[in-house]
Structures are given as structure tokens and as C-alpha cells.
């Protein structure tokens, strides 16, 4: 077992080519395990990821605030703190904060068979984000 205390977390600003808006990410200094990568991600109101996929899927645990999330071909929905969202392997999706709420989620990216990772795609437009 390895325990990482909050003072051992590595916080960095989310890269502009992955996100729209103010986003910060925490990752363990131990790096990803052979089985999964786990990140705590902080989104300012209206901030969001680009469209992306994960080879083995992704699970989001909404820790605080309201998460806005969408799968390709579907309108965005809001998920409140305490909610859990699952994306299937290679499912194109995005997620971020509601326009009126900060949001924090823990993202688990399984990596048992592929090395995990994220395939970053194009930015989510304001129209896609609003569901218009």
C-alpha cells in the first residue's frame, strides 16, 4: 500500500490544448499505476475538457459542484456532487463545470491492457456546451 498525503500531490494548470477555461489537475507524485491513472481535476465555472476518448474507458466521481457532461451525439446533462459517470472504451465525450458552479471530480482511467491515456480531440464549442 502507498499513501499520498495532500501535501504530496502535484498540482498543475490544465494545458490549454486540452481544456477551455480555468482548470487545475492533481496527480500523485508516484505517477500512474500499471492498472489505472487517477487525477483530481478542479474546473472553474464554465470550464471544460476538449472532446476526447480513453482506450479502456473512464469513471468520474463528482466530488463537489455540478458537472456538465456529454457523449457524442447526445445533449449535455448535469450531474450533481456524489454522482458517478462511466464512459465506455473509446467513447467520444467531454466534461466540465456548469456555467454557475465550480466543480471537482476524480477521474479514473483504467490502464490494465493499454497503458491507459487520453486521446485529445477538438475543443467543445460554446454551442455544444450549452446544448443549443
Locate the domains of the chain by residue range.
Answer: 8-116
pTM listed for this prediction: 0.88
Give residue 6's Cα distance to chain centre: 19
C-alpha triplet 41, 88, 59: angle, nearest 5°: 30
pLDDT at 22 > cutoff 60: yes
Confidence tier at 38 by pLDDT (50, 70, 90) = confident
Options 3.40.50.970, 2.60.120.10, 1.10.10.10, 3.30.300.130; CATH for 8-116 is: 2.60.120.10
The per-residue pLDDT for 25 is 92
C-alpha distance from residue 34 to each of 1, 49, 59, 62, 125 (Å): 14, 24, 17, 24, 34
Amino acid at each position: 500500500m502507498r499513501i499520498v498525503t495532500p501535501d504530496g500531490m502535484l498540482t498543475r494548470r490544465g494545458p490549454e490544448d486540452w481544456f477551455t477555461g480555468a482548470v487545475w489537475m492533481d496527480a500523485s507524485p508516484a505517477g500512474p499505476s500499471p492498472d489505472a491513472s487517477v487525477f483530481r481535476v478542479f474546473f472553474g465555472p464554465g470550464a471544460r475538457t476538449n472532446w476526447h476518448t480513453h482506450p479502456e474507458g473512464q469513471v468520474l466521481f463528482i466530488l463537489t459542484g455540478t458537472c456538465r457532461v456529454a457523449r457524442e451525439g447526445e445533449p449535455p446533462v448535469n450531474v450533481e456532487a456524489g454522482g458517478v459517470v462511466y464512459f465506455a472504451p473509446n467513447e467520444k465525450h467531454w466534461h466540465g463545470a456548469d456555467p454557475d458552479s465550480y466543480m471537482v471530480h476524480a477521474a479514473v482511467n483504467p490502464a490494465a491492457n493499454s497503458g491507459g491515456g487520453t486521446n485529445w480531440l477538438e475543443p467543445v464549442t460554446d454551442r455544444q456546451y450549452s446544448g443549443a
